C-alpha cells in the first residue's frame, strides 16, 4: 500500500476547516470566495440513488438549502455537489443513461464536489482488484486515488470508529466515522492529499476543490465535515 502522509492545514482553534489547502477553495482567497456570484445557490445532491436524504438533513441542520440533481441542466442551479453513498454499479448505469458523466466532470473543474463511500468510488481514478467491466463500475477519474470496493468488508462488517483528522485543532482531533461496506483507499497519487486516517490508513483525501471520504459523515449528528465542505465554496 502506498499513500502520502496527511498534511496539517491551518484552522481556527476548535474549528474543523478544509480551506487552508491549496487549490480552488474559497477559503484560500483573501478577497473572498471564488464563487461569490454563486454563493446564494443551493448545494446540489446527486439524487440518482443512495442516501442523499441524510445529506439533505445534515445541511438543513446547518441552515443550508439543497437541491436534488438528476439532469445535466440542474448543475447550473447549484454552487457545489455531493455524490452520496449507495451502489456504485447503479450510480454508473444511471449516470451514463442520463448523460451526466461529462457534465459532472465539467462541473468539478471549478466547483466543490464531495463524495462519500460509493461517491468516493465514483470520483476515484480507478479500482483495484477488478476491471470496470467486471461489475459495470466506471469511476469518473476526478480524484487521484485508487480504491478497493468493499475494502472494509460487507454489510455485516460495518462499524463506527474515531477517525484522526490532522486539520482539527482544539479539544478534539477525531470524528466518529460510520463505515458501511466502505471502500478502501489503497493508493493516493501526487495530486491528492490525505486528510483523515484510521488505523494508519487514509480514509479521506482532498484534491483542490474535490473531497472524497470512505465513510458516511451524514449518519452522525456531527456536522463539522459538512460545514467544512461549505467553506470550500
Q: Any idea which residues carry the catalytic annotation? A: 117, 216, 218
Cα separation of 61 and 2, whole Å? 37
With beta carbons less than 8 A apart as the criterion, state whether 213 and 1 touch: no
CA 229/CA 112 separation, integer angstroms: 8
- Give the C-alpha separation, 231 to 19, whole Å: 6
Q: What residues pair up with 66 in beta bridges, in sequence order?
A: 43
Quote the cell numbers at residue 154.
Answer: 460487507
- Which positions ≥6 away from 139 have C-beta within 8 Å? 121, 122, 123, 124, 125, 126, 127, 132
C-alpha cell read off for 59? 445541511
Distance CA 37, CA 201 (A): 38
Burial call 51-89: b when 16+ CB within 10 Å, e when fewer:
bbebbbebbeeeebebbbbeebebbeebbbbbbbbbbbb
Amino acid at each position: 500500500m502506498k499513500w502520502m502522509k496527511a498534511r496539517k492545514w491551518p484552522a481556527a482553534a476548535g474549528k474543523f476547516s478544509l480551506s487552508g489547502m491549496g487549490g480552488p477553495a474559497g477559503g484560500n482567497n483573501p478577497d473572498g470566495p471564488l464563487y461569490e456570484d454563486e454563493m446564494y445557490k443551493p448545494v446540489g445532491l446527486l439524487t440518482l440513488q443512495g442516501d442523499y436524504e441524510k445529506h439533505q438533513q445534515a445541511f438543513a441542520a446547518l441552515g443550508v438549502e439543497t437541491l436534488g440533481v438528476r439532469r445535466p441542466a440542474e448543475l447550473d442551479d447549484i454552487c457545489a455537489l455531493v455524490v452520496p453513498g449507495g451502489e456504485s454499479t447503479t450510480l454508473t448505469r444511471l449516470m451514463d443513461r442520463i448523460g451526466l458523466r461529462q457534465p459532472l466532470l465539467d462541473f468539478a473543474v471549478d466547483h466543490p464536489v464531495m463524495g462519500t463511500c460509493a461517491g468516493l468510488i465514483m470520483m476515484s481514478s480507478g479500482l483495484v482488484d477488478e476491471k470496470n467491466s467486471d461489475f459495470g463500475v466506471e469511476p469518473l477519474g476526478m480524484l487521484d486515488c485508487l480504491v478497493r470496493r468493499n475494502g472494509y468488508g460487507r454489510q455485516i462488517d460495518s462499524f463506527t470508529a474515531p477517525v484522526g483528522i490532522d486539520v482539527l485543532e482544539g479539544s478534539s482531533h477525531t470524528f466518529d466515522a460510520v463505515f458501511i461496506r466502505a471502500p478502501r483507499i489503497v493508493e493516493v497519487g501526487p495530486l491528492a492529499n490525505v486528510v483523515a486516517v484510521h488505523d494508519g490508513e487514509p480514509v479521506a483525501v482532498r484534491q483542490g476543490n474535490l473531497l472524497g471520504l470512505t465513510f458516511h459523515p451524514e449518519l452522525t449528528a456531527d456536522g463539522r465535515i459538512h460545514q467544512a465542505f461549505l467553506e470550500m465554496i
